[in-house]
Amino acid sequence: MQAQTLLAVCQGSVVGMVTTNVMPVLHRPTAVGRLSVLIVAEQERGKGIGKALVEAAENMLRKRGCKLVEVTSNFRLEEAHAFYKHLGYEASSIRFKRSL
């Protein structure tokens, strides 16, 4: 996995960030991009910063050969789900986990 981080800076302060990973997978013809962290400072939300970070991350992943971008989100983060749906993302699977 190759990770990269993009920051949103406003007046010298970091107000948001997104991290991406490129994952080669056997079941797809090209690598899959993943948004692994997306956060915008609470007081800065609703100003387009999250959308700009996602668009920049998608462009970066596209340049790195990804044809698909995915993001995971906890069931309880309903505002995040609405945000991703607004950007054109769709729910496509359920993720299972197990602590070791």
Tokens of 70: 């995915």
Please, are residues 63 and 31 in contact by the beta-carbon 8 Å criterion?
Answer: no
**pLDDT tens across 31-83, in order?**
999 999 999 999 999 999 999 999 999 999 999 999 999 998 888 999 999 99
Parent domain of 11: 2-86
pLDDT of residue 2 exceeding 80, the answer is no
Q: Is residue 29 part of a domain?
A: yes
Q: Is residue 93 part of a domain?
A: no
Indicate the number of domains in the chain.
1
Q: What is the CATH number of the domain that holds 66?
A: 3.40.630.30
Look up the pTM and report it.
0.88
Tokens of 5: 């981080």
Q: Is residue 97 part of a domain?
A: no
Q: Is residue 78 part of a domain?
A: yes
pLDDT of residue 12 exceeding 90, the answer is yes
